[in-house]
Amino acid sequence: MQLIFDIAGKKKLIEDSIGKYGHGVEHNYWNLRHLDGKGTKSAFFEHGGMGVMCFNRAGTWEMLPGILAPEEKKPEVLEKFLDYLFADSNTRKIFVAVPKEHRDKIKNIRKYKIPEHCRTFYFPVYNLKDWDAAIPGKKWKKLRNLRNNLYSSHKVEFVPCGDTDQVELRKILHSWKKNRNSADSLWQEQFYDNILESNFEGIENARSLLVDGIPCTISGGWKIPGSNDYYSALGLLNYKFDGIGEAAVMEEFSLLRKKGYGHVNFGQSDKSLLDFKKKFYPERIEEEVLFSVSKNR
């Protein structure tokens, strides 16, 4: 049992655990690596080859969703993780992200104090076999008109980020950070900075939507381990043209379908962001709860 801070040096150990037990959208070595920096320290809790991906920010611990363990071992690994961190007298609170049923189980462990309040995040999942790039029919009319208006008025291309001016990509990130609304809070902004600074290391299908030669969006992600599904981890835009966000999603769907993925998960969303993602008719919406754990004293 150990808490690993040397994410680069222990790459094989972490990837082996993900390869054996990975199942969630956050289960990616580079995801953990890109979280490191600007006051945040990534870590990996290892217990018998199983584990928990986590980070510390300003003295507060938070785990990434999904315990790397067989289903029957997940409560045990989570308890070991909490015990290990709470053994440090400086640890006051740990934020845990798990399915609701796991929260119910640890609420019964008397050594922990868990408030009634929890925050729910939603993960929309789309079946790419049902995706038709022509978006025919009445239900797609608004999106079809939005896309057609953009494409008829401008020259639009969907190109690899590697073929795009890196300075312009950084401008997209800056604009995206600046223009997000108050309800759509930015989580761990260094994650996006690190991805661009590393030239998208570990990111698959990194693409940008160019409108009249201007890079306007950034998309990309990775294959979800243990599946033929994909996690769309990036969804950045500069808000310069109407419909660029929707157009980028549709282009990404078409690209991923051609590459043979079964489903695409559009990641952690609160209610406001979920409303945008519902435009594309998810097959299902998965849920995770985030809540704090402290020691009963």
**Residue ranges covered by each domain of the chain:** 2-114, 123-286
Tell me what pLDDT residue 68 has: 97
The mean pLDDT value of the chain amounts to 92
pLDDT tens string 183-233: 555 567 889 999 999 999 999 999 999 999 999 999 999 999 999 999 999
Question: Rounded mean pLDDT of 108-129?
Answer: 88
Q: Give the whole-number percent of the chain exceeding pLDDT 70.
A: 97
pLDDT tens string 167-187: 999 999 999 988 875 555 556
**The CATH number of the domain covering residues in 123-286:** 3.40.630.30
Tell me what pLDDT residue 185 has: 55
Residue 28 has pLDDT above 60, yes or no: yes
- pLDDT-derived band at 105 (thresholds 50, 70, 90) equals confident
Pairing between β-strand 50-57 and β-strand 60-63 as defined by DSSP bridges: antiparallel
- Any idea which residue has 């661009």 for tokens? 196
- pLDDT-derived band at 296 (thresholds 50, 70, 90) equals confident
Residues 6+ apart with CB under 8 A from 19: 225
Intrachain domains 2-114 and 123-286 with the same fold: yes
Q: Compute CA 113 distance to the chain's CA centroid, rounded to the nearest angstrom.
A: 28
CA distances from 249 to 99, 167, 265, 266 (A): 27, 23, 12, 10
**The CATH number of the domain covering residues in 2-114:** 3.40.630
